């Protein structure tokens, strides 16, 4: 596949429409979320949820279909396969994390999808393991192969935006992100519980190809939801030279009344790591036209209660790569002359450092 030329600035290489323009989900180009296997090396669908319950707190659900060059993350090159698939089903409870991690280098060819609409399903042997359909109201159904976890959620998307591209030496990574309300049920080991809350949805695409850029360093993805219905979603990234990726380090704010603000600058400060090299807390400052946000985040220490599936387990520590980091956040948001207090923010953060790289965290 010929690499697509990268245009830095206001356009994405792999998504339709301008970068950083928030729009109603019903008006967002559906082509940006449809699976197009003949155009992109990798696509995925991911949902980060927080719930209004004290027992089941959050979930991260999704799958990736296709391949990209793992060398950009400091990992060994994977055997070339035209149809790898992986998915994760993680439920965060008061007691800890219940997780299913599944991957296979060949079974991606059995994923069924409709090139004209959101209809995606995957079966392993005779068992259906996930089924997604609908837009902008989406139904997410995921099951673990051992039936210990089942998730049935309706996501009603409100707003969508195209994110700036992340350009790495061997991959061009594009993404669109949206927010919405979530309702449905989660079953853990046979116990079914009704849930409701909010969700952050993202659809990544990758084209494999050479780019004349520095090595990737690290990133922190922080999708947050607050009890009043506000959302703050942001990325912070640095390359392997310790330079902030100014394009990718951005975010957006959505207020309860639906007002949207793009945050063209995101800065992470005082990122502290614990004994397993996972973040235990940080401070963030975000800004856009007429708005400034400052918040502090603490990561809740959670054990892995139960895991199943076929990949990514780290037997020595009892944890696995990209462990879901449950955030507790507070701070303030200043819009013009009005300051809003940010209280009881929550979400699941993703943190990834290129293997073998030792950054000087800000």
Q: Which CATH architecture has domain 23-353?
A: Beta Barrel (2.40)
Q: What pLDDT, on a 0 to 100 scale, did the predictor assign at position 310?
A: 62
Q: What pLDDT, on a 0 to 100 scale, did the predictor assign at position 277?
A: 86
Any bridge partners for residue 24, and if so which?
159
Q: What pLDDT, on a 0 to 100 scale, did the predictor assign at position 53?
A: 95
Determine phi and psi for 30, rounding to 5 degrees.
Answer: -65, -25
Q: What pLDDT, on a 0 to 100 scale, did the predictor assign at position 275?
A: 80
DSSP 93-131: ESS-EEEEEEEESSGGGG-EEETTEEEEEEEETTEEEEE
Q: Quote the CA–CA distance of 299 and 196 in Å, as a whole number.
A: 22
Question: Residue 133, SS3?
Answer: strand
Ranges of the chain whose pLDDT falls below 50: 1-9, 312-319
**Counting Cβ atoms within 10 Å, is residue 268 exposed (0-12), middle (13-18) or buried (19+)?**
buried
Q: What pLDDT, on a 0 to 100 scale, did the predictor assign at position 7?
A: 44
Angle at alpha carbon of residue 283, lines to 282 and 285, rounded to 5°: 145
Q: Do strands 319-320 and 117-124 pair parallel, antiparallel, or not at all (unpaired)?
A: unpaired
Q: What pLDDT, on a 0 to 100 scale, did the predictor assign at position 2?
A: 42
Q: Where are the domains of the chain?
A: 23-353
Q: Which of 355, 302, 295 is nearest to 325 (CA)?
A: 302
């Amino acid at each position: 596949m010929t690499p697509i030329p990268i245009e830095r600035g206001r356009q994405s290489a792999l998504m339709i429409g301008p970068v950083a323009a928030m729009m109603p989900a019903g008006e967002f180009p559906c082509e940006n979320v449809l699976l197009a296997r003949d155009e992109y090396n990798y696509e995925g669908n991911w949902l980060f949820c927080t719930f209004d319950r004290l027992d089941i707190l959050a979930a991260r659900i999704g799958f990736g279909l296709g391949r990209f060059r793992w060398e950009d993350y400091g990992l060994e090159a994977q055997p070339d396969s035209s149809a790898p698939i992986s998915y994760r089903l993680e439920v965060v409870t008061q007691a800890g994390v219940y997780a299913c991690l599944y991957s296979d280098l060949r079974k991606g060819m059995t994923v069924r999808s409709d090139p004209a609409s959101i209809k995606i399903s995957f079966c392993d042997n005779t068992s259906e393991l996930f089924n997604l359909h609908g837009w902008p109201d989406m139904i997410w159904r995921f099951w673990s192969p051992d039936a210990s976890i089942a998730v049935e959620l309706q996501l009603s998307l409100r707003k969508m935006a195209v994110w700036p591209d992340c350009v790495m030496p061997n991959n061009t990574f594009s993404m669109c992100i949206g927010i919405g309300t979530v309702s449905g049920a989660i079953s853990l080991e046979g116990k079914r519980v009704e849930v409701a809350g909010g969700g952050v949805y993202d659809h990544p695409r990758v084209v494999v190809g050479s780019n004349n850029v520095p090595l990737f360093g690290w990133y922190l993805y922080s999708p947050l939801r607050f009890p009043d219905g506000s959302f703050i979603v942001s990325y912070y990234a640095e390359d392997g030279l310790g330079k902030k990726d100014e394009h990718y380090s951005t975010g957006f704010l959505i207020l309860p009344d639906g007002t949207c603000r793009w945050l063209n600058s995101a800065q992470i400060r005082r990122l502290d790591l614990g004994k397993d090299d996972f973040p235990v807390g940080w401070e963030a400052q975000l800004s856009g036209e007429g708005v400034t946000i400052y918040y502090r985040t603490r990561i809740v220490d959670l054990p892995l209660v139960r895991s199943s599936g076929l990949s990514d387990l780290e037997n020595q520590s009892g944890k696995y790569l990209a462990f879901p980091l449950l955030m507790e956040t507070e701070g303030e948001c200043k819009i013009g002359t009005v300051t809003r207090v940010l209280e009881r923010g929550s979400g699941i953060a993703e943190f990834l450092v290129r293997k073998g790289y030792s950054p000087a965290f800000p």
